[in-house]
């Protein structure tokens, strides 16, 4: 995030309302752009294809398949995403930039091997009623998606924030164009279009990475050496992604709310669409999160630790610590306020939005609680970000594991209690996790200077 923070700080120095607006707009697009593009692209592919794909129900099947591919690719690569990000940061700190590209290639080799060994047997065995072409496209798409999430790690470190957004737009734009051209090919045509778009996205990302990093070798597995990859970060990445998808899996596979779509894949008609729409409302909160954390908080964070390392006066260290604590708390409260406003807007205009999208009004109560829940997810992400800066890996692991467990348990309970409480499991799980996280953060910030000097 260092490059993005640098660009945002440059925009904020303009000291005008237009500069401020541009900074927040830029942050919103960069932070949530890939998510929003992914959701919009999959929905648009469905809209384009419904009039011509026969039978039209195959469009819903395609969207279900893509959702599963994205979910499981994020969960699988979540095991290495945070750990390899920390590995890359450590190599940069030690001036070993030459290790980054070959180790990324090594990680991609490992990811391709593992994801291929999982997806190809699964695709071939679990979809016996589908064509061989569909099964191969299913497995290949999973492998490419896994590589996309891994490649994003180094692309972020290059300060290539514009390239990330451009490549996502190019990749999903290609998928949209090809879906229009191949829509007569039914399910296989839509899958091929999506796979081609993801491949274009991956190649564009790798091109930028290979241009930005130089190395002495092409492939290296230094990251696999003992102590190079933090196990706590590997577990954190796994549990965070499991937590995000836990309520969806419960609704998909619960007999009261889920139905079979294709092979072993299931969906929930009552739950899925409101959830996807709710995620479009997180852009304001994500913008505030990125601006506050990557500008104001990072500034005082750097000053505090620079003073500690370089022997600053005790009064100055205390002053910088107090400012860092103030900014972190204000940043989290600002996220809550802005996301709260976005939630109110959606709640007021929700019925009209559902009518414009030709979605039954029965989905409005679930949409309402999901908008609240996704707003809480942004707050939760802000908390985790502060803990990461403070290098409290144990705290982050505990909170993500707590969230995953609570989301699963409370979602099951909410289904048993009836339709009026659908979605409350996700929201309450986040609310409890945030409350616990804030209590732990208050404690850690109060003892920050003591623990910092004890670790020196």
- 236 pLDDT above the threshold of 90: yes
- Give the number of other Cβ atoms within 10 Å of residue 303's Cβ: 18
Residue 292 lies in a domain: yes
| 243 in any annotated domain | no
Indicate if 383 and 287 belong to the same structural domain.
yes
In a domain, 160, yes or no: yes
Out of 3-7, 338-342, 365-369, the most confident range is 365-369
Strand-pair partners of 266? 260
Looking at the structure, tell me whether residues 344 and 449 fall in a common domain: yes
Burial 65-77 (b: 16+ CB within 10 A, else e): bbbbbbbbbbbbb
- State whether 73 and 156 are in the same domain: yes
pLDDT at 205 over 50: yes
- CA-CA distance, 23 to 29, in Å (whole number)? 10
* Integer Cα distance of 78 and 152 in angstroms: 12
Residue 247 lies in a domain: no
- pLDDT at 250 > cutoff 70: yes
Q: Are residues 29 and 154 in the same domain?
A: yes
Residues with Cβ within 8 Å of 134's Cβ and at least 6 positions away in sequence, in order, are: 127, 187, 188, 191
Q: Are residues 314 and 370 in the same domain?
A: yes
Q: What angle do CA 41, 43, 44 make, to 5 degrees?
A: 65
- Residue-wise DSSP of 2-46: HHHHHHHHHHHTT-SHHHHHHHHHHHHHHHHHHHHHHHHHHHHHH
Residues 223 and 112 in one domain: yes
Residue 51, pLDDT above cutoff 50: yes
CB 220 within 8 A of CB 102: yes
pLDDT cut 70: percent of the chain above it: 82
pLDDT of residue 448: 72
3-class DSSP assignment, residue 265: strand
Query: Angle at CA 27, nearest 5°, toward 7 and 173?
Result: 105
Q: Which domain holds residue 313?
A: 275-455
DSSP string, 171-237: HHHHHHHHHHHSGGGHHHHHHHHHHHHHHHHHHHHHHHHHHH---S-S---GGGSTTTS-HHHHHHH
- The tokens of 439 are what? 């209590």
Same-domain check for residues 220 and 281: no
Q: How confident is the model at residue 146 (pLDDT cuts 50, 70, 90)?
A: very high
The position carrying tokens 């998909």 is 252
Contact 192, 137 (CB under 8 A): yes
pLDDT band at 22 (very low <50, low <70, confident <90, very high): low
User: 268 or 361: which carries more pLDDT confidence?
Assistant: 268
- Give, to the nearest 10 degrees, the angle between helix 231-253 and helix 57-93: 170
CA neighbours closer than 13 Å in the CB half-sphere of residue 279: 17
Res. 77: pLDDT tops 90: yes
With cut-offs at 50, 70 and 90, classify the pLDDT of residue 132: very high
Contact 42, 63 (CB under 8 A): yes
Contact 264, 123 (CB under 8 A): no
- Same structural domain for residues 338 and 404? yes
The count of domains in the chain is 2
Domain final position from 229, 255, 287: 229
Highest mean pLDDT among 160-174, 182-196, 345-359, 412-426 belongs to 412-426
- The secondary structure element, H or E, covering residue 311 is none
In a domain, 37, yes or no: yes
**% of the chain exceeding 90 in pLDDT:** 28
Average the pLDDT over 298-319 and give the result.
76
Give the single-character DSSP code of 259: E
Question: Residues 402, 305: one domain?
Answer: yes
Could you tell me if residue 393 is inside a domain? Answer: yes
For residue 111 the two structure tokens come to 């990811």
Q: Residue 323: is it exposed, middle or buried by C-beta count within 10 angstroms (0-12/13-18/19+)?
A: middle
Residue 6 has pLDDT above 70, yes or no: no
Please state the rounded mean pLDDT for residues 138-143: 96
| Res 2 pLDDT > 50 | no
| 415 and 251 Cβ atoms separated by less than 8 Å | yes
Q: Are 150 and 107 in contact (CB under 8 A)?
A: yes
Is 38 found in the same domain as 180?
A: yes
Task: Give the DSSP H/E element, type plus range, for residue 303.
Answer: helix 298-310
Name the band, by pLDDT with cuts 50, 70 and 90, for residue 156: low
Query: CA 292, CA 290: separation in Å to the nearest integer?
Result: 6
pLDDT > 90? residue 414: yes
Residue 353 pLDDT > 80: no
Greater pLDDT, 307 or 289: 307
The residue ranking higher by pLDDT, 206 or 316, is 206
Residues 148 and 82 in one domain: yes
Q: Is residue 324 part of a domain?
A: yes
Same domain for 419 and 298: yes
The answer to whether residue 312 scores a pLDDT higher than 90 is: no
pLDDT of residue 159: 58
Q: What ranges make up the beta strands (E) of 96-249?
A: none
Please name which of 343, 367, 344 lies closest in space to residue 355, comparing C-alpha atoms.
Answer: 367
Domain's final residue, options 195, 212, 229: 229
* pLDDT at 340 > cutoff 70: yes
**264 within a domain of the structure (yes/no):** no
pLDDT at 1 (0 to 100): 45
């Amino acid at each position: 995030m260092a490059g993005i923070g640098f660009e945002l700080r440059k925009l904020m120095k303009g000291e005008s309302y237009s500069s401020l607006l541009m900074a927040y707009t830029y942050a919103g697009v960069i932070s949530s752009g890939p998510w929003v593009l992914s959701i919009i692209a999959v929905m648009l592919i469905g809209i384009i294809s419904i009039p011509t794909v026969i039978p039209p129900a195959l469009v819903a099947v395609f969207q279900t398949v893509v959702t599963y591919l994205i979910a499981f690719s994020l969960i699988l690569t979540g095991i290495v995403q945070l750990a390899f990000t920390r590995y890359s940061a450590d190599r940069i700190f030690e001036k070993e930039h030459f290790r980054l590209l070959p180790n990324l290639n090594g990680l991609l080799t490992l990811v391709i091997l593992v994801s291929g060994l999982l997806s190809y047997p699964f695709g071939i065995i679990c979809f016996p009623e589908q064509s061989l072409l569909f099964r191969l496209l299913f497995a290949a798409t999973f492998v490419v998606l896994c590589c996309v999430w891994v490649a994003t790690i180094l692309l972020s470190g290059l300060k290539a924030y514009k390239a990330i957004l451009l490549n996502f737009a190019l990749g999903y734009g290609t998928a949209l164009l090809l879906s229009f051209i191949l829509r007569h090919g039914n399910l296989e045509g839509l899958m091929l279009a999506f796979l081609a778009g993801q491949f274009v996205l991956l190649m564009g990302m790798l091109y930028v990475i290979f241009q930005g990093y130089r190395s002495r070798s092409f492939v290296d597995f230094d990251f696999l050496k003992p102590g190079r990859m933090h196990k706590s970060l590997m577990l954190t990445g796994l549990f965070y992604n499991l937590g995000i998808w836990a309520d969806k899996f419960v609704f998909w596979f619960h007999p009261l709310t889920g139905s079979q779509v294709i092979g072993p894949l299931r969906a929930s008609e009552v739950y899925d669409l409101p959830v996807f729409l709710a995620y479009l409302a997180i852009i304001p909160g994500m913008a505030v999160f990125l601006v506050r954390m990557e500008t104001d908080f990072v500034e005082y964070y750097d000053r505090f630790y620079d003073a500690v390392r370089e022997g600053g006066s005790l009064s100055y260290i205390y002053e910088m610590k107090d400012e860092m604590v103030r900014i972190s708390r204000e940043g989290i409260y600002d996220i809550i306020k802005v996301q709260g406003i976005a939630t109110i807007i959606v709640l007021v205009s929700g019925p009209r939005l559902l009518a414009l999208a030709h979605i039954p009004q029965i989905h409005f109560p679930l949409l309402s609680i999901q908008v609240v829940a996704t707003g809480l997810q942004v707050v939760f992400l802000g908390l985790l970000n502060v803990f990461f800066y403070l290098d409290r890996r144990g705290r982050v692991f505990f909170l993500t594991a707590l969230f995953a467990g609570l989301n699963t348990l409370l979602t099951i309970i909410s289904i048993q209690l009836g339709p009026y409480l659908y979605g409350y499991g996700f929201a309450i799980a986040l609310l409890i996790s945030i409350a616990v996280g804030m209590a732990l953060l208050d404690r850690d910030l109060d003892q920050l200077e003591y623990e910092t000097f004890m670790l020196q």
